[in-house]
Amino acid sequence: QVQVVESGGGLVQPGGSLRLSCEVSGSFMSINDMGWYRQAPGNERALVALITRRGDITYIDSVKGRFTISRDTAKNTAFLQMNSLKSEDTAVYFCKIKARRDVWGKEYDYWGQGTQVTVSS
C-alpha cells in the first residue's frame, strides 16, 4: 500500500502565506512526478503545480510568481509554498504522485485525502 498525506492547510487572510507538505510512505520503488491539485466547490479538480524527480517544474498561470513547488526526493516529500494568497485560491488541495509498486507493475497515480485552504478576511 502507498499512502499520500497532505498537511499544512488552514484559514489565512488575503495576502497571507501557507506551506503545504505532502508525505509519501508505504511500498513503492520510486516516485516520478509529484503534483499539487486543487478543487473548489462546484469545480473540477485541476493541476496547480508539478515537479518531476529531476526537478522540472510546471505551474498554472494563475499561481506563477506566488506559489513555489519543491521536493525532498530522499524523504519522499513535496511542498507547496503559497504566498500572496487570494480568495480565489480557496480550495481543497490534493497531492498526487506517480509511482511503481514493483519492477513488473504499472506506474500508478496515488492521491492524498486533501487539505483545506481557505483565504478569507
- Residues 112 and 96: beta-carbon distance below 8 Å: yes
pLDDT of residue 1: 86
Per-residue pLDDT, 102 = 84
Mean pLDDT by 10 residues, the chain (121 residues): 96 98 94 96 97 96 98 94 98 96 88 98 93
* Alpha-carbon gap, residue 90 to 85, rounded angstroms: 9
pLDDT at 11: 98
